[in-house]
Copies of this chain bind each other. A is one copy, B any other.
């Protein structure tokens, strides 16, 4: 049995984009694919039938949250995360490292991983390559991610090196930015080294390689040479897929694009390429055209919960007074539960203004469907070499103007 198969079905004639299909033991998904994020084994407010209704074929869960609550051991005893949340399609879990680094007020990083205070109960928790594999083996997702060291962007770089010396410090107490380029490069170089060492430990610790496909993650920050070095080291390990990590961690759109366009084409041609945590429509389209196959992002759900919805022409803030008596659906030809169900912007605004759960739920459903429709059109554009028509149709994919 193979945990993952990937077939490329069509190649774009004018870019590095490709249409393919990933198959896992829990079914397959078409690529390029967008995966909505179900952090705590739930896409906030959506029942499994609603998730399916958005056309989502695969979803992402966060190992960090689930290891803390209800506990990966609990989920393992209950039959794994598919059975736990009753999502029978493909699931990806991340390694937990990114959240452990970024979400805890107090953490400490060393050669064995990261030690942090649990957001649930403040308990001291250690997460390293072996434990991350144990957690992800317990959860049982179809695609699992290597435990990597993800350095901040140059912009977010704030005296981070102090952490490497095992000095405990709170987020609030960090020193002001001292973005010396040399320091930043040293931090990225250290991350590269750790990432590849930890990858070897992940491969060794992974107990279910026949059921769960382990993806390696390329780091290297925004530096071309360090990206190349990380890519070479990570791809030197034979794995079912590879991800571009360390992107969308605070750097701008242009830099995201530059890094992706450098990295994606160098990843193994026959393996799925996954750009983690990205992004807006224009980010996704640029990455697809650079050869990326998989995406996850919290944008549709997080923005939806705030009442901000996507349309092909740009975003709408549904709480705005202008929508008070707007009888139109969010987007005229959208087939999501809200638009297809003929729910008006006025009704959605009423729900949002009244703090009614149904507002965030319907906005999230619409937004996820928006991204799935984007990916449907992207796949069609690749197959039919239809990019001019695609860009005509998706104004939001051309520019950042429409970002909601």
Considering the complex, give the chain B residue whose CB is closest to the CB of A45. B357
Complex Cα distance A65/B353, Å? 13
What is the distance, in angstroms, from A385's C-beta to the closest C-beta of chain B? 38
Say whether B357 contacts A84, CB under 8 Å: no
User: Which B residues touch A327, using CB under 8 A?
Assistant: 78-79
Complex Cα distance A325/B350, Å? 39
Complex Cα distance A356/B327, Å? 30
Most B C-beta atoms less than 10 A away, residue of A40, A337, A353: A40
User: Which B residues touch A360, using CB under 8 A?
Assistant: 357
Contact code string A77-101 (vs B, CB < 8 Å = 1, else 0): 1110000111000000000000000
Say whether A70 contacts B350, CB under 8 Å: yes
Identify which of B69, B343, B353 contacts A353 (C-beta below 8 A).
Answer: B69
Considering the complex, give the chain B residue whose CB is closest to the CB of A359. B42
User: Which B residues touch A49, using CB under 8 A?
Assistant: 337, 341
Identify which of B45, B77, B86, B346 contacts A347 (C-beta below 8 A).
Answer: B86
Say whether B47 contacts A354, CB under 8 Å: no
Contact code string A316-351 (vs B, CB < 8 Å = 1, else 0): 000000001101000000000100011110110111
Asked, given contacts A70-B346, A324-B74, A325-B74, whether A45 binds B84 with beta carbons under 8 Å apart, the answer is no
Contact code string A9-47 (vs B, CB < 8 Å = 1, else 0): 000000000000000000000000000000011101111
List 17 A-B residue pairs with CB atoms under 8 Å apart, sorted by A's residue number: A40-B351, A44-B357, A45-B357, A47-B50, A47-B337, A47-B341, A49-B341, A65-B354, A69-B350, A69-B353, A70-B346, A70-B353, A77-B325, A78-B325, A79-B327, A84-B344, A86-B347
Q: Name 14 extra pairs, CB < 8 A, besides A46-B358, A47-B337, A78-B347.
A: A40-B356, A44-B357, A44-B358, A45-B45, A45-B361, A47-B50, A47-B362, A48-B341, A49-B337, A69-B350, A69-B353, A70-B324, A84-B347, A86-B342
* Closest 6 pairs (CB-CB, A-B): A45-B357, A70-B350, A42-B358, A40-B354, A42-B356, A357-B357
